[in-house]
A = this chain, B = another copy of it.
Amino acid sequence: MIMTRWLDNPNKDDVVVSTRLRVARNLKDKVFPIYSTDQQADEVKELIKGAVANLFQEGEYSYHQLKELEPRENMRYMEDHLISPVLVDHWKKSSFFLRDDEKVTIMINEEDHIRLQTLLPGLDLIQGWKLCSEIDDTLESVLDFAWHEEYGYLTSCPTNTGTGLRASVMLHMPGVTITGHISNIIDALRKIGLTIRGIYGEGTEAVGHLYQVSNQLTLGESEDEIIEKLNRVVLQLIRREKNTREYLADKKRLEIEDKVYRSLGILRSARLISSKEAMEMISNIKLGRDLGMIGNQQWEDLIKLMIDIKPGNIQNRLGRSMNRVERDETRAEIIRDYFK
């Protein structure tokens, strides 16, 4: 029942979950989505839709208009990281193309006319950027993008102007979270122009010990520089997290075992559980599994499980809207079943 196809990865890593690249593009001489009338937005949508339909093979992409989907379906696409929270906010105007393998999304009328995203499992910035860049070039071959000789690609929000590129890597870092080193890491990353935050975008808490590290600057650095720097820092973060986990397994074994087994005890017995608590507990079990403290062949998709128990996914699984208590009860059932 677990979806999130794009996460299928033969080369699993204990720390890096995924790599995402997205570029922001706008059509020349068209009003930005946040200022456009419904008619203007519709016109932009039709232009892009026509281009994509002509450029790619039939059946390669599916097309979705948010206003035609149930709110729980839109939520599920967002939870799966296939579309952005802003696209959902703009549901009246917005739509998206999703490639069959879920690795490419072309969002229309988000904050910009186009947000092109590639999403790959593990750390794969080079391939992710290659894929993103190729599709961007293909789109640019038929669409006229707003571009300025000095500033580069023009965007609705100035923080995206320039390359329009946001490269980000999702990391599972329970080790440095437990020891508290994460606050130093956050400060250090900020100083070198990178940001780190929770996995559902700006201002979100790092639920489930999942962090998203990305470039802050889009102006003044080339795409290759952005990617090279992020890659280098992520490799350092992986080393740091792994060293910390080894330290914990060695010096704080009892405390960590206690945390891991308690989490399993709770997940195997709770009758009601919020997605936040569940993600935290699943994260602890993943840490225990990665450290070889507990193990089960069936538990390989713990990150997928974390996504699968989010509110939108829960409601889609049952094909209906549910209130909070119903969701918490269903979530607890799904999780008990998973870990039984």
- A residues adjacent to B (C-beta < 8 A): 254-255, 257-258, 261-262, 264-272, 325, 329, 332
**Residue in contact with A258 in the complex, picked from B257, B261, B270, CB distance below 8 Å:** B270
A260 to chain B, nearest CB (A): 9
- Within the assembled complex, what's the spacing in Å between the Cα atoms of A261 and B257? 21
What residues of chain B lie closer than 8 Å to A266, measured between beta carbons?
Answer: 262, 265-266
Alpha-carbon distance A270/B262, docked complex (angstroms): 5
The oligomer's copy count stands at 2
CB-CB < 8 A to A271: which residues of B? 254, 257-258, 261-262
**Which residues of chain B have C-beta atoms less than 8 A from A268's C-beta?**
265
Q: Could you tell me the distance between the alpha carbons of A325 and B255 in the complex, rounded to whole angstroms? A: 10
Of the listed residues A254, A268, A269, the one surrounded by the most CB atoms of chain B closer than 10 A to its CB is A269
Which 6 pairs of residues, A with B, have the shortest CB-CB distance?
A: A265-B269, A265-B265, A258-B271, A261-B269, A258-B272, A257-B271
Please name the residue on chain B nearest to A257 by beta carbon. B271
- Give CA–CA (A272, B270) in the complex, Å: 20
A264 to B262, CA, bound (A): 10
- Give every chain B residue within 8 A of A267 (Cβ-Cβ): 265
A332 to B254, CA, bound (A): 11
Interface hub of A265, A266, A329, A332 (most chain B Cβ within 10 A)? A265
